[in-house]
Structure 1
Amino acid sequence: MAPDPKDRTVPDRPEIVCICGSMRFADEMLAANRDLTLAGAIVVAPGLLAPTGERGAAAEPTDEQKAALGELHLRRIDLADRVLVVNPGGYVGESTRREIAYARAAGTPVSFTDPA
Structure 2
Amino acid sequence: MREVNRLLTFAGIIVVAPGVFAHATGEDITDEQKRALDALHLRKIDLADRVVVVNPGGYIGESTSREIAYARATGKPVSFTAPA
Q: When the two structures are superposed, what TM-score results if normalisation uses the length of structure 1?
A: 0.67
* Aligned-residue RMSD, C-alpha: 1.6
Equivalent residue for 1:46, pick from 8, 14, 18: 18
Match of 1:104 in 2: 72
- Computing the radius of gyration from Cα coordinates, the structure with the larger value is 1
Higher relative contact order (CA 8 A, sep 6+): 1
Paired residue secondary structure (1:43): coil
> CA separation of 1:38/1:65 partners in 2, compared to 1, >3 Å: closer, same or farther?
same
* Structure 1 residues 21-64: Cα deviation after superposition (integer angstroms, max 9, x where no partner): xxxxxxxx1111111101000001111248x6xx464xx32111
- Long gaps (5+) in structure 2: none
Match of 1:18 in 2: none
* Structure 1 residues 65-104: Cα deviation after superposition (integer angstroms, max 9, x where no partner): 0110010010000000000000011101110000000000
Task: Tell me which protein shows more helix as a share of its residues.
Answer: 2
Paired residue secondary structure (2:43): helix
Aligned residues: 83
Structure 2: how far apart are the matches of 1:113 and 1:76?
A: 19
